[in-house]
Structure 1
Amino acid sequence: MPEGHTLFRLAREQHGRFAGREVHVTSPQGRFAAEAELVDGRVLDEVTSYGKHLFAVFGPDVVHVHLGLYGKYTTGTGLPPEPRGALRMRWEGPGEDGEGVWTDLRGPTACELITDGEVQLILDRLGPDPLRRSDPGRAWARISRSRQAVGALLMDQSVLAGVGNVYRAEVLFRHGISPFRPGKALTEAEWDAVWADLVVLLRAGVRAGRIVTTRPEDRTRKRGAASRVDAHYVYRRAGQPCRLCGTPVRTEEMVGRNLFWCPTCQAV
């Protein structure tokens, strides 16, 4: 599932390509056809993201998208290809320099037309977003009272918005915190450090367009951009030796997703 940095980049890209101009909105698949007709031909005011949610504002109406596990945007210039398959929504516009631009959305969990008030209801259900000017104390208030494992709490979007499976695994490793530790057993100083690190990591993800969580000194290649093999400490490295201590990385399911951790560096 795309994490917060991906949605932030998508919002920035779509805003740059389409905002301030009339957008031709269609739903070749038909599932969004009635809503597309309502905003078709309107000027797009802005596109923003919060956590894993995308909001495109057309006057009083907002197109809300949540990609979920399978949603994906494809964007291009010039004439768009002939619609094929389950194409939920297509935007077409003149582009900044007059050359046509388009973007196609397939397979999202949510693609709906909502009001400003309904946007606020969604935001009210979400925890703080490390990519926004959010108050980490709101998340700490939930975490510090919870008996639930911190690895599960970090995946709960009502606790913390935008963090998914990769950032969950990697930030806990970087701070030597067992994903099985109850939230209430975390110290406030530990949480402050985790939050500050998430801000750095997600911002880096926005810049790079990929998640890299390893420090240069812990990579096989010490200079230049991290290779795919070197990008993570524990995520999808089950059975491989920990980069710091050599213990095999372990995995098991937690809140419906595969969790990865080092049982030595992250001992309970």
Structure 2
Amino acid sequence: MPEGHSVHRIALQFARHFVGERVSTSSPQGRFVEGAGLLDGRTMTASRAVGKQLFLEFDEALYLRVHLGIYGAWDFAGSIEQDPVTRSARGRMGQTGQHGVVDDDEDAPGTVVGEHEDSLASIGAPRRARLRMGEESSSTEALESFPAEPVGQVRVRLLTERAVADLRGPTACEVLDAAAVQEVIDRLGPDPLVDDPDEGEERMLERVRRRRVPIGLLLMDQSVVSGIGNVYRAELLFRARLDPHTPGASLPEDVIRELWRDWRYLLGVGVETGQMLTMDGLDEDAQRRARRSRADRHWVYKREGLPCRNCGTHVVLELAAARKLYYCPSCQQ
């Protein structure tokens, strides 16, 4: 499931290429015809991410709310320009031209291992499509015309004169008014990139300390803190050397505050780089490997049975509320 950094990057993509533009909205799949009709022809006025929720605002205060869930993804095409962060990554996010994606990194293979998490053209669940970088191939397909015909089950297509965004497989996709949007946001925990940092820290502290639920579950509870998914959960707990089974109410105040501050830091790194880079202090070669491969970018996530990078103890995998939980039983006790 895309985590908070991906949704913030999607919001930035819309801010850069769709906000201020008149948008033709349709539902090629046919499952969102009524909602698309409410938005068709309106101007997008703002885009905002809160945790894993995306809110696209249109004139007359109508909003498209999208939660990608496990299978959802946005594909972008057209005149999608690179920002300075993308250029500094030397193409690993996928440089996008007038009608398609071009990989301009001469040193890297044409794929980013890690489910396209840093792709400029496609953000969300991995799948093959015309505008996505292939998982095994360095080739990409330039489009002969713009806009191309929708590929696959496109729930919503947002189209301007220069850019198109196709949404597939979301968990939630609905048109809301401002009051309904606020109701959704009020149910969410603080997001470090949205809330005042100090106020957000106090809200997270209060919500964690009043519950005897294990911290490994609380970090995934979007009403406690927004945007954290399986990857960031495992990595935050390891970086804090914290046993995931510790009840929130038993944690010292300074430990909870440090979790919030570390989440704020890692979320910022994720939005800036497009990758969940959770290992600090890497030399140049290690940084290069981490940017190219998820296997070299995390402390414990998806490293079950492998030696802990810190102490050598085998990393453990267990199920917690039907989600995979990774941790080191030696470092995190």
Please, what TM-score do these two structures have when normalized by structure 1? 0.94
Out of 234, 252, 255, the residue aligned to residue 318 of structure 2 is 252
**Offset of 1:203 from its aligned partner?**
0.2
Runs (4+) of structure 1 exceeding 3 A deviation are 219-225
**Offset of 1:137 from its aligned partner?**
1.2
The 2-side partners of 1:111 and 1:263 are apart by 40
Q: In structure 2, do the counterparts of structure 1 residues 185 and 221 end up closer, same or farther at CA, with 3 Å as the change threshold?
A: farther
Partner of 1:87: 154
Partner of 2:214: 149
Does residue 62 (structure 1) correspond to residue 126 (structure 2)? The answer is no
Out of 103, 118, 125, the residue aligned to residue 187 of structure 2 is 125
Out of 138, 149, 156, the residue aligned to residue 203 of structure 2 is 138
Identity rate, percent: 44
Q: In structure 2, do the counterparts of structure 1 residues 173 and 220 end up closer, same or farther at CA, with 3 Å as the change threshold?
A: farther
**Offset of 1:80 from its aligned partner?**
2.5
Counterpart contact for 2:204–2:260, Cα < 8 Å: no
The 1-side partners of 2:45 and 2:289 are apart by 36
The 1-side partners of 2:240 and 2:203 are apart by 21
The 1-side partners of 2:289 and 2:16 are apart by 27
- 1:87-144 per-position Cα deviation (integer Å, ceiling 9, x unaligned): 10001102xxxxx210100000011000100000000100001222342211211211
Counterpart contact for 1:130–1:162, Cα < 8 Å: no
**Offset of 1:223 from its aligned partner?**
5.2
**Offset of 1:38 from its aligned partner?**
1.4
- 1:152-205 per-position Cα deviation (integer Å, ceiling 9, x unaligned): 000000001111111110011001100000101111101111111111100000
Task: Please identify, of 226-235 and 48-57, the stretch whose mean Cα deviation from structure 2 is larger.
Answer: 226-235
Out of 175, 198, 201, the residue aligned to residue 113 of structure 1 is 175
Tell me how many residue pairs correspond in the alignment: 261
Partner of 1:41: 41
Task: Please identify, of 77-86 and 136-145, the stretch whose mean Cα deviation from structure 2 is larger.
Answer: 77-86
Show structure 1 runs of 5+ residues with no match. Answer: 95-99
Does residue 204 (structure 1) correspond to residue 269 (structure 2)? The answer is yes
Counterpart contact for 2:20–2:45, Cα < 8 Å: yes
Show structure 2 runs of 5+ residues with no match. Answer: 79-98, 100-145
SS in 1 for 2:233: helix
Q: In structure 2, do the counterparts of structure 1 residues 220 and 243 end up closer, same or farther at CA, with 3 Å as the change threshold?
A: farther
**Offset of 1:222 from its aligned partner?**
4.2
**Offset of 1:39 from its aligned partner?**
1.1
The 1-side partners of 2:253 and 2:216 are apart by 16
Counterpart contact for 2:289–2:296, Cα < 8 Å: no
What code does the residue aligned with 2:64 have?
A: V
Aligned Cα root-mean-square deviation (Å) = 1.4
The 2-side partners of 1:222 and 1:54 are apart by 33
SS in 1 for 2:22: coil
**Offset of 1:82 from its aligned partner?**
1.4
Partner of 1:214: 279
What code does the residue aligned with 1:34 have?
A: E
The 1-side partners of 2:218 and 2:7 are apart by 21
The 1-side partners of 2:277 and 2:266 are apart by 8
Please, what TM-score do these two structures have when normalized by structure 2? 0.76
Out of 219, 236, 239, the residue aligned to residue 305 of structure 2 is 239
